[in-house]
Amino acid sequence: MKLSLHLSALAVLPTVLGAAVPSTEGPQFDKGHPIDGKGKGAPLLGGTDKQIDISNPDNLGRQSTDNGIVPNLKWRFSDSKTRLFRGGWLREQVIQDLPQSHDIAAAQQHLSKGAIRELHWHRVAEWGFVYAGSVLISAVDEHGKYQVEKLNFGDIWYFPKGVAHTVQGLEDENEFLLVFDDPDFDKIGTTFNVDDWVAHTPRDVVAKNFGLDPSVFDNVPNPNPNIFNGTVSTKNVTANPDDILTGDASFVYRTLQHEPEPVPGKGGVFYKIDSTNFPASKTLAATYVTLKPGGLRELHWHPNAEEWLYFHKGTARATVFIGNAASRTFDFSAGDTAAFPDNSGHYIENTSETEDLVWIEVYKSDRVADIPLTQWLALTPPDLVAQTLQIPLEVAEKLQKEKQVLLP
């Protein structure tokens, strides 16, 4: 009997608290355990989210080059609280979610056909990118200039601080990315909804302002609905056509109707959207990038701003170097956001062998700017580069002097 009990105890030794102890032969990062196969690490036996561990192997210590204390630079929209409305939903990433995003807050928003993001304005600028369906935007500026336009996949809007606007869904289902040039977007005094204002102003004052009977405003929503069901707009604005915002004054940029930036490395497609080609966008600059399977956004840094990212499709890896020998590698998939510190060195690699990687970068700046590592070294006396990196002089002399941007 005692022998039988001992054998039973031995049988369960490989399992602790319900977690199977993995083999220690070879690296175990892809199986969700921090084991390098070279004598370092040990299995995870306590509470953990196995799927997240498996999808983030670099967070388990896979890269031996990672060093120092680098804060978390990543946030998953899937971890954001989704707010439900009649006609759609909204989920945000603000500074309370990703404290390292000092410049930018963002959101994903969904509108059903006819649904309206009610009329409002912000204390901050708003940038939007349509990635599903189509929407109608309407905006009015301080000079009484206005714009009403339909936007489709890849189209962008930029509403400067204080510009009044609204968005309506036109297809059965419509979705877009929103970006704001303030990380604490939810604080009071950032967003102003028209029905909120009217509902909280004395009725007789509202009536006097519009020259109408007070009863007209008996059904103003309170509290505001944020998003509500409606019917697709069919009415035109009957104002002076000369007051329509067009050309350099337009709040709309149609990305895919423009040629992408030159990419000598030929590893993908790179669109730049900033004040140089979208003059209205003075506080937010962006890129829309498609990187081929296995491709690399070359090592670089941005001299003018922190970089905020949204990964729309595919899987990626990035190592961020923040100085003082500190670096950390992150794994990304669709729906992830990130904030890379101002001037930090980094790359982005497509880790899929078959699927394109698609992402958006946004900077709180009037322009997109970057300095590639290779170009810097190529335009520095090669003997100094060779001595610094301890590489052959002939290698330093042959470095690419032109930005490669996206490498295959």
Q: What confidence tens digit (pLDDT) does each residue in 50-103 have?
A: 999 999 999 999 999 999 999 999 999 999 999 999 999 999 999 999 999 999
307 is in an annotated binding site: yes
**pLDDT given for residue 11 in this prediction:** 44
pLDDT mean over 220-225? 91
CATH T-level fold of 78-253:
Jelly Rolls (2.60.120)
122 is in an annotated binding site: yes
pLDDT mean over 19-25? 61
Of 240, 349, 351, the C-alpha closest to 296 is 349
Strands (E) located in 334-370: 336-340, 345-350, 357-363
State what percent of residues in the chain have pLDDT above 90. Answer: 93
25, with CB counted inside 10 A (0-12, 13-18, 19+), is exposed
Domain limits, the chain? 2-60, 78-253, 259-407
Across all residues in the chain, what is the average pLDDT? Answer: 94
Enumerate the β-bridge partners of residue 244: 146
SS3 for 320? strand
Please tell me the distance from the alpha carbon of residue 95 to that of residue 63, in angstroms, as a whole number: 28
Please tell me the distance from the alpha carbon of residue 150 to that of residue 156, in angstroms, as a whole number: 11
Residues 6+ apart with CB under 8 A from 140: 146, 163, 164, 165
300 is in an annotated binding site: yes
Q: Give 302 or 1, the one with higher predicted confidence.
A: 302
Is pLDDT above 50 for 8?
no
Quick one: pLDDT band at residue 24, thresholds 50, 70, 90? low
**pLDDT given for residue 224 in this prediction:** 87
Q: What confidence tens digit (pLDDT) does each residue in 298-349 have?
A: 999 999 999 999 999 999 999 999 999 999 999 999 999 999 999 999 999 9
Please tell me the distance from the alpha carbon of residue 150 to that of residue 57, in angstroms, as a whole number: 42
Q: Enter the tokens of residue 55.
A: 């999808």
Residues 6+ apart with CB under 8 A from 122: 159, 161, 162, 180, 190, 191, 192
Is pLDDT above 80 for 373?
yes
Quick one: pLDDT band at residue 25, thresholds 50, 70, 90? confident
Q: Enter the tokens of residue 303.
A: 């001299």
What percent of the chain is helix, strand and coil (3-state, nearest 5)?
A: 20, 35, 45
Residues designated catalytic: 361
Tokens 């050309």 correspond to 247
**pLDDT given for residue 68 in this prediction:** 97
Quick one: pLDDT band at residue 15, thresholds 50, 70, 90? very low
258 is in an annotated binding site: no
State what percent of residues in the chain have pLDDT above 70. Answer: 94
126 is in an annotated binding site: yes
Residues 6+ apart with CB under 8 A from 130: 151, 152, 153, 154, 155, 156, 174, 175, 176
110 is in an annotated binding site: no
Of 90, 58, 59, the C-alpha closest to 77 is 90
Record the pTM: 0.93
Q: What confidence tens digit (pLDDT) does each residue in 277-303 have?
A: 999 999 999 999 999 999 999 999 999
CATH T-level fold of 259-407:
Jelly Rolls (2.60.120)
Please tell me the distance from the alpha carbon of residue 54 to that of residue 398, in angstroms, as a whole number: 39
Strands 285-291 and 357-363: antiparallel
**pLDDT given for residue 14 in this prediction:** 46
Q: Enter the tokens of residue 136.
A: 């109608």
Strands 326-333 and 336-340: unpaired
* Neighbour order of strands in the sheet with 74-76: 74-76, 336-340, 307-313, 357-363, 285-291, 268-273
Tokens 């196995």 correspond to 50
Of 228, 217, 134, the C-alpha closest to 176 is 134
